[in-house]
Structure 1
């Protein structure tokens, strides 16, 4: 997502992260997009903040979250998203003029692309777009079996995980998608798993040489290891509980990752985010987005009991964060509710669905089918089964630069 998840960051921080994409994640010949010069936004777009770095991401999450609660989005909202696709099949983070062909220097975003696939596959009726986009994702798979934020960038746990979810949503079998070197996405994902014991034992790091915000990458990887995407339902109960064990398979690593998250959440009921470099306030702050993603991961792993305390905390404390942060934040909370069976229309006294709907064009219907019925209908219609520019960045050791946790996007108003 990444992601996606996530602590809202200032527009200034977003700009810094955007520039970092070009230097740290994208090939040297590709420049990051320029911030949108105009404040006039497309009528089909969710949110009112500058979409330069998260337009496709927040739109995709909004549409996907609406689908889980039976809301049929406005046709122009769906059309805006499909219109962002480039001829290659990939999506950029955002392009202001969709009437023109994508500039060759416009960086394509694997995370935004993967989120778009999941949203469009869930909505149904977008078979051609979904198939073309899945083809592009497969064409930019790295030799190690994984994906980076931009094509050509080193693989990371977040990007690899959200692409797994996209491939599954597009009807592909992720385990059968192999690189030229014969590696699968799960081969790549397993390389990011830390052994038990020591600092962050059992977690998944963002990249081997650049650990990043491990709660973020771990939540993404646990879900990806199960072949699932951003919208998940509870998995079978994990009888192993929260004991970290030696893992040689991606399934075992997923258990350990979920155990790491459960232990981290058990302390206070929520995760924290460190202050941005140079911030005046050095104290850690609650990380609403990462907490929501961790809840989704625990549910996917079958550790629903361990998700109860953080879900209660989220219900009691997240309303102001969602209102200030915008559509992607609302969507994250709805997806957490969906994963645990909570009611997103009565989430600690807040109607998340109404809040999300208010950030974009009026939906065509707000009293649609239940999610399960809608899933069956979409399967029939399309034949397809059903993760802030990252809310965390840090200055790493020499050569690492500023890292972007691919799944996380800045949630703009």
Structure 2
């Protein structure tokens, strides 16, 4: 994939037995495509696992920075939608109707719904996407990566974002058993004493939940009813106190505390693959910044965003559009300028990965947005992104590893 494939998606791929996928996802970047890519698509790597997700992230980040995406970029995304309303990760031939082989998933669908809702003018596609998401809700109130899989925090978080983006009240979207997405999130929250209040990701072999930073960022956003585009808090919230997660709000507070502790003095998260040494986890750190800002923890969010500004250039270049979008979301949430992020213009770099946008906001409009009176960043979840997920929900190909 590219740079933000959620932990939930990785677990789902393993559960589905897709032999070729894990290697591509674990590398943090998709292999080169075998044929020419559509002119409306962002990114140059193989879109098989993340085409819709990275496109959605790119369009959403453009919208959040006052950029009007190219018409053909939006048309490419809407053209990926199946007749059911759901989106698969990528459809090479959209002239062929979706069948049982098209692995339509909640993360791609929720990301596309959020992007199209923000852009406006695509009500039919948005409504169909929301209807499909509602139709595959699990009985516990949450969502798994694909229909039939157990609920996870990444997928549930990013779907909450899609619902909120379209004016739905997530608490009112219930299963046949009367459970809402918030009910599902409380069941995915872990113990304060043993696991620090994190949200858990199920181990692919045992199914047991274990603390996971990506799932926690998505769970925090979902529990707060927020999405990937959040504004920097004007007032610093009090340090959260971990307690029994008897509500989504408390679970989000617990998760916020976990992220603050995990970021520590360094300001960044770490990750490791089996047999390798720990190293900074840029993608999960970006997600954590957004979650912390949504929770009102602006000081830690800014500290971590400043670390990103000085340490993310190579990662973003490798990851492509989804990576640049994640950094745009983090910069926006921390109150930093995405057009001068450690000396890099993230917006320009993102735009260069696909078709030229139709228009950009004027300097005056950008200044208005900086002081909170300009652009409408509606948002929304969770995840959250992903992964993402995140790929929570979160999906564009980043390494997703448990802390």
TM (norm. structure 1) is 0.83
- What CA deviation, in whole Å up to 9, does each residue of 1:90-128 have, x standing for no partner? 000000011221122211010010000000000011111
Q: In 2, are the aligned partners of 1:159 and 1:407 still within 8 Å (CA)?
A: yes
| Matched residue SS, 2:264 | helix
Residues 58, 69 of structure 1: CA spacing in aligned structure 2 closer, same or farther, 3 A cutoff? same
Partner of 1:215: 213
- What CA deviation, in whole Å up to 9, does each residue of 1:270-291 have, x standing for no partner? 001112x4x5xx2012110000
CA RMSD of aligned residues (A): 3.0
Out of 65, 76, 95, which is 2:72 matched to? 76
Q: In 1, are the aligned partners of 2:40 and 2:72 still within 8 Å (CA)?
A: yes
Residues 330, 227 of structure 1: CA spacing in aligned structure 2 closer, same or farther, 3 A cutoff? same
Q: In 2, are the aligned partners of 1:155 and 1:207 still within 8 Å (CA)?
A: no
- What CA deviation, in whole Å up to 9, does each residue of 1:290-334 have, x standing for no partner? 000000000000011122321121111111111111000000000
Deviation at 1:56, TM superposition (A): 0.2
CA–CA separation in structure 2 for the residues paired with 1:174 and 1:240: 26
Out of 312, 318, 332, which is 2:312 matched to? 318
- What CA deviation, in whole Å up to 9, does each residue of 1:45-89 have, x standing for no partner? 000000000000000000000001000010000000000000000
- What CA deviation, in whole Å up to 9, does each residue of 1:324-370 have, x standing for no partner? 11000000000011112110000011110010000000111123554
Deviation at 1:374, TM superposition (A): 3.8
Partner of 1:375: 376
Partner of 2:338: 344
Q: In 1, are the aligned partners of 2:385 and 2:392 still within 8 Å (CA)?
A: no
Deviation at 1:390, TM superposition (A): 6.6
Deviation at 1:152, TM superposition (A): 1.0
Out of 187, 195, 203, which is 2:198 matched to? 203
CA–CA separation in structure 1 for the residues paired with 2:123 and 2:385: 28
Residues 59, 239 of structure 1: CA spacing in aligned structure 2 closer, same or farther, 3 A cutoff? closer
Q: In 1, are the aligned partners of 2:6 and 2:397 still within 8 Å (CA)?
A: yes
Partner of 1:398: none
Out of 93, 97, 100, which is 1:97 matched to? 93
Partner of 1:39: 35
- Decide which moves more: 163-172 or 263-272: 263-272
- Decide which moves more: 85-94 or 263-272: 263-272
| Matched residue SS, 1:267 | coil
Partner of 2:16: 22
- Decide which moves more: 264-273 or 355-364: 264-273
Residues 322-337 of structure 1 aligned to structure 2 (within 5 Å): 322-337=316-331
Q: In 1, are the aligned partners of 2:155 and 2:389 still within 8 Å (CA)?
A: no
CA–CA separation in structure 2 for the residues paired with 1:146 and 1:19: 18
| Matched residue SS, 2:151 | coil
Q: In 1, are the aligned partners of 2:78 and 2:125 still within 8 Å (CA)?
A: yes
Provide the aligned length of Structure 1 versus Structure 2.
374
Q: Structure 2: where are the runs of 5+ without partners?
A: 19-30
Partner of 1:250: 248
TM (norm. structure 2) is 0.85
